[in-house]
């Protein structure tokens, strides 16, 4: 878990957001409650989820990348704890190319998830995260230097 990367104030906010997230679908799932108990057990002593805060002030409280990523990873884990994805969470992809790219993203993200379970260091996980971002860039049109050079050498005659 990543809660140890947060200071006590950040941990309190994480617990408040986790409680709100758990209740967002109207159902308290046992797996979600178990995960919140685990998160609480890893927090500093005397932390409660009753702290009130303004969402607009989060940027001032989570300054470092490590704190931001830790918060997001904990909340993503909780959001997926119950494994229940309603119709509102499903997306229909009609473009075959996009579908294949999204499947590649899924494979990369599964590798990240497995790495997290095995407690693989973050720098190694970053490779799979970058791979996912690369695939998403194929859909959004982000072009990398390697793509540009590959296209030039593949489609243009150089040196003749």
Domain assignments of the chain as residue spans, ordered by start: 3-86, 96-155
Give the range among 24-28, 72-76, 101-105 with minimum mean pLDDT: 24-28
**Which pLDDT value is given to residue 159?**
58
For the stretch 99-107, contacts whose Cβ atoms lie closer than 8 Å and that sit 24 or more positions apart, written own/partner, are 101/135, 101/136, 101/138, 101/139, 102/135, 102/139, 104/131, 104/135, 105/132, 105/135, 105/136
Name the band, by pLDDT with cuts 50, 70 and 90, for residue 147.
low
Q: Which residues contact 74 (CB under 8 A, 6 or more apart)?
A: 1, 2, 3, 14, 18, 39
pLDDT at residue 4 above 80?
Answer: yes
CB of 131 within 8 A of CB of 103? Answer: no
With H, G, I as helix, E, B as strand and everything else as coil, classify residue 1.
Answer: coil
pTM recorded for the entire structure: 0.51
Cα–Cα–Cα angle for 127, 129, 131, rounded to 5 degrees: 70
pLDDT at residue 150 above 80?
Answer: no
**Which pLDDT value is given to residue 151?**
66
- Of residues 157 and 53, more confidence is placed in 53
For residues 84-121, one letter each, b for 16 or more C-beta atoms within 10 angstroms of the residue's C-beta and e for the rest, the string is: eeeeeeeeeeeeeeeeebbeebeebeebbeebeeeeee
C-alpha span between 149 and 156 (Å, rounded):
10
């Amino acid at each position: 878990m990543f809660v140890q990367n947060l200071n006590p104030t950040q941990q309190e906010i994480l617990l408040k957001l986790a409680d709100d997230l758990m209740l967002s679908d109207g159902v308290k799932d046992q797996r979600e409650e178990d995960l919140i108990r685990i998160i609480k057990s890893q927090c500093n002593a005397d932390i409660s989820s009753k702290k009130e805060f303004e969402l607009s002030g989060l940027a001032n409280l989570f300054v470092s990348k490590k704190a931001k990523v830790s918060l997001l990873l904990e909340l993503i884990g909780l959001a997926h704890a119950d494994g229940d994805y309603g119709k509102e969470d499903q997306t229909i992809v009609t473009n075959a190319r996009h579908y294949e790219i999204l499947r590649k993203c899924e494979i990369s993200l599964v590798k990240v998830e497995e790495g997290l379970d095995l407690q693989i260091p973050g720098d190694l996980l970053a490779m799979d995260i970058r791979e996912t971002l690369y695939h998403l860039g194929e859909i959004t049109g982000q072009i990398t230097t390697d793509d540009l050079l590959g296209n030039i050498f593949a489609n243009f005659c150089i040196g003749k």
